Amino acid sequence: MIRVLLADDQALVRAGFAALLDAQDGIEVVGQAADGAAAVRLVRELTPDVVLMDIRMPGLDGLQATHEIASDGRLTGVRVVILTTFELDEYVFEALRAGASGFLVKHTEPAELVRAVRVVASGEALLSPSVTRRLISEFADRAKPPPPTSLDALTERERQLVGLVGEGLSNDDIAERLVLSPATVKTHVNRAMMKLGARDRAHLVVFAYEAGLVRPGWAS
């Protein structure tokens, strides 16, 4: 059973998502919160598998709440999906940096919402290559230069693959470019994630930028 917590300041949005998800086999909505502080409190109390988190809420917003959840060592199994009205919300990149596993627009199709919950609960990141590229184009070239991040633990191949993940390539894309099997690419990417302490693929994209492996618009 996938246990989901909903965090949104609009009661109708929460009710609609709850009705949809509770009707699915293997998914249960275990709690609802109207603001970020309540969301963090309930996550600590209920430890859901997935949190659907509105990015704009009164008091503690979704960005701050996501950071609190992602930085709590007791909640490493909790995956946060950011809900936003606009696909290229100005805070989406910061939410990924804070530890979110991806994002959804609120007007997404019901079937896509259900699929998203299942994907994130399985440990994958909800961040398609096309979305990654749009995020790069829209925000990363206006970002401050990244702080230095130690990559000493990575092999040369792992560094190369982390850079390609940061460019928005899927495992299949990387395998084709480097003439490797998708299974080999997946193994290298998973090892890099473990060495860097990345929660998921979305977080690995952030590492790629902060380490300078991908430098859109930044001076060399």
pLDDT tens figures, 172-183: 889 999 999 999
Question: What percentage of the chain has pLDDT greater than the value 70?
Answer: 84
pLDDT class of 86 with cuts at 50, 70, 90: low
- The angle subtended at Cα 73 by Cα 72 and Cα 78, nearest 5°, is 75
3 state DSSP class of 57: coil
pLDDT class of 218 with cuts at 50, 70, 90: very low
Query: How many Å apart are CA 53 and CA 14, to the nearest integer?
Result: 10
Please determine, for residue 109, whether its predicted confidence score (pLDDT) is greater than 90. Answer: no
Question: What percentage of the chain has pLDDT greater than the value 90?
Answer: 41
Give the residue-averaged pLDDT of 79-86: 84
Please determine, for residue 13, whether its predicted confidence score (pLDDT) is greater than 60. Answer: yes
pLDDT of residue 146: 53
Contact 62, 171 (CB under 8 A): no
Q: What is the pLDDT of residues 116-170, one digit of tens each?
A: 899 888 877 776 555 666 666 665 565 555 555 567 888 999 999 998 988 778 8
pLDDT of residue 83: 85
Q: What is the mean pLDDT of the chain?
A: 84
3 state DSSP class of 165: helix
User: Which comes out higher in pLDDT, residue 143 or 212?
Assistant: 212
User: Which comes out higher in pLDDT, residue 212 or 112?
Assistant: 112
Please determine, for residue 114, whether its predicted confidence score (pLDDT) is greater than 80. Answer: yes
Query: How many Å apart are CA 199 and CA 62, to the nearest integer?
Result: 18
Query: How many Å apart are CA 33 and CA 18, to the nearest integer?
Result: 12
Please determine, for residue 51, whether its predicted confidence score (pLDDT) is greater than 90. Answer: yes
